Amino acid sequence: MKDSFDVAGLPTRLGSYFASEEPAAVDSAVAARLRRAGAIILGKTNTPEFLASYETDNYITGRTNNPWNVDRTPGGSSGGEAAAIASGCSPGGVGSDGGGSIRVPAHFCGIAGLKPTPGRISLIGYQPVEPSLGITVAGPMARSVAGCAALVRGPRWLRRPRPAERASGSARTQTGTRAALVLLKHSMGLPCSLPCQRAVREAAAALANLGFPVEEFQPTGLERAHPNLCEFFLRRTSGTCREGSHGG
């Protein structure tokens, strides 16, 4: 479990001396559901201080390195979780993501990770409590997409069923679903590599083969994404907006 989720008997340190050293009295909702499903919680995984960086280093436990190259970072803020999974310490676990905290380390470490829709997975027992912005979510991390699916969809210990699934037991009863192919050759001033572009096109082709209409779509206004993230998340919660900071 990422060290932002309460696990009974263990402190939730968030990589900071300012966090309480008192052990959590009860499990977070995610940890409790894991245990009910028969999972073994091996321990807590490292984070940057207060989850506020795209790398994983702090003054309590020190730096987590990328298992593929220890001179490089596993990303953040779920970098400890990603490194543990990529190095074979565990088959999967739970991270959190506000501005990339699951997706970035999953990418850096070559594993699978998902940022679900806000509210799909309970954040009861998650620290720090987000000031009602609805950005941060809990999500699965595993060595494969199938592993993430097993955590969220398989035994259903994490999620709340959607209305369509409660009625029919299947998410495929919805009709008219389209897939948007968004291929950004440049984002935030950085080029998108050809392998990444190819992977996105292959994913779109797989969706088309499953019967989903795929339409190319180019969103507008992305140049405002980073300033808006700073305004609505970082500056309002921490008073600063440093380059490379985020929430998760």
Catalytic residue set: 2, 77, 101
Using DSSP's 3-state secondary structure scheme, residue 194 falls into: helix
The distance from CA 194 to its chain's CA centroid, rounded to whole angstroms, is: 24
Question: How many Å apart are CA 105 and CA 2, to the nearest integer?
Answer: 12
The region, left, alpha or beta by phi > 0 then psi within -120 to 50, assigned to residue 166 is alpha
DSSP 8-state class, residue 121: B
Residue 2: C-alpha distances to residues 12, 46, 143, 228 (Å): 9, 7, 16, 27
Question: How many Å apart are CA 43 and CA 248, to the nearest integer?
Answer: 19
The region, left, alpha or beta by phi > 0 then psi within -120 to 50, assigned to residue 203 is alpha
Consecutive H or E run containing 204: helix 194-209
DSSP symbols for 126-146: BSSPP-S----EEEEEESSHH
